Amino acid sequence: MSSPYLLVISACLLIAVFAYHSFKPTSIYLIDFSCYQPPDFLRSPISNFIEHLNLSGIFDRECLDLQQKILERSGIGDDACVPVTVHEIPPHSSLSASREETHDILFTVVQDLFSKHKIDPKSIDILVSNCSLFCPSPSITSIIINKFGMRSNIKSFSLSGMGCSAGLLSINLVKDLMKIHSGSLALVLSMEAVSPNGYKGKCKSMLIANTIFRMGGAAILLSNREQDRDKAKYKLQHLIRTHLGSDNESYESVMQEVDEEGLVGVALSKQLVKVASKALKINVVELGPKVLPYSEQLKYIISFIKRKWGKDKKEKEVYTPNFKKAFEHFCIHAGGRAIIEGVEKHLKLEKEDGEASRTTLYRYGNTSSSSLWYELQYLEAKGRMKKGDRVWQIGFGSGFKANSAVWKCISEIDSREKNAWSDRIHLYPVCGDASG
């Protein structure tokens, strides 16, 4: 064969190889994750919490009765924890208290991951943190870089104001960064500081947040390096984001604002569950075609056509696909009892499908963006996560946002591995219904 032909063939091969590597989807592997387990002395049993509110002398009888009523119906149990300063009478809120809480949670979970996998902090290429209401300077990522001595050229991002869905937003940011930066190791940190966010006023919509948020956080180790595939637990399949900020009702459903007395709090609208349902519906419409078998998609399309143009007016609602044909497990943000039950109703799930979420709410309370990771860890500790299983994480947050992440388990999960549930996993679920 003459040399010109060889040159042409070689050039074509080079182009083909370049095109393959350029357009090949980036695989995102979840190597492992760690959830913070507060010490038992930080437990805040419901009776103690109510007594604490009474002794603080901050609230009048009407506000106390409302918070007690919410607490008793919240689905939160006696093992959920609050920071040391919140145990004080009256609760102490300061910058130093917030820093101390952040250090306690994040230093613990990061060290746990690094020690377990013998990770050199200098090997971390991307660092992303999310904490909605506590935004110190230097930033949270700077605090971690300083503590663990990370590289000077690390790509770090601190997200704030993103609400309870920020954990999946952080994963999405890492996913996008890894499209550009191949061979990277990333660390994601998700938490919400409870210390600085207690509301001391009389606005009913702001008092709700006092009762449901608890102490917690998680660290997630991600990679797009092929050599990490064999030791990774999960592989990211899909990540879908929905933002309804252009709709005023949605935008105002979770809002940090100042009350008539000049006190800052987070107001939760009565329309919150309705807004969450609307956001989830839009999110599901985009996710469904990517994950559902064709048979379920066809049933939905036929039902939609009948509902829209059919002569039979008895067809009152469009068919809800059976998502259990697409996923073995569901992790619904443990934002509250109403949110979990609302998602179960919207997706026509059974009560056992929401067990991980309901049990997480019961033991740990609403830990904001990290709740999804406590739920996934619960499934692991129960021995339910099997190689090949798919899990759907559903997050909600202010804005209003609904985010979905789909992971596929790619390794054998050892249920005996120590995690935030190991010490008392045998106690759950409580009487088959962790929400009481």
Catalytic residue of the set 329, 331, 403, 409: 329
What kind and span of H or E run contains 284? Answer: helix 272-291
Residue 163, token pair as written in the block: 């609400």
Catalytic residue of the set 164, 210, 224, 283: 164
Catalytic residue of the set 81, 130, 333, 403: 333
Q: Quick count: other Cβ atoms within 10 Å of Cβ 273?
A: 20
Distances (CA, A) of 257 to 165, 248, 305, 429: 19, 15, 44, 37
Tell me how far apart the alpha carbons of residues 296 and 254 are, in angstroms, rounded to a whole number. Answer: 34
Partners of 155 in the beta sheet? 126
- For 57-103, the three-class secondary structure string (H helix, E strand, C coil) is CCCCHHHHHHHHHHHHHCCCCCCCECCHHHHCCCCCCCHHHHHHHHH
Q: Is 361 in contact with 75 (CB distance < 8 Å)?
A: yes
Cis ω on the peptide bond leading into residue 321 (within 30° of 0)?
Answer: no
Catalytic residue of the set 63, 210, 243, 409: 243
238 is catalytic: no
* Burial class of residue 136 (count of CB atoms within 10 Å of its CB; 0-12, 13-18, 19+): middle
Helix (H, G, I), strand (E, B) or coil at 17: helix
DSSP string across 175-229: HHHHHHS-S-EEEEEEE---GGG---S--HHHHHHHHHB---EEEEEEE--GGGG
> Between vectors from CA 148 to CA 224 and to CA 192, what angle results, nearest 5°?
80
Q: Is 280 in contact with 394 (CB distance < 8 Å)?
A: yes
Q: Is 253 in contact with 272 (CB distance < 8 Å)?
A: yes
243 is catalytic: yes
Catalytic residue of the set 224, 366, 403, 419: 366
List, in order, residues 6 or more apart from 1 with CB less than 8 Å away.
Answer: none
92 is catalytic: no
Amino acid at 414: D
What residues are annotated to the active site?
164, 243, 329, 333, 366
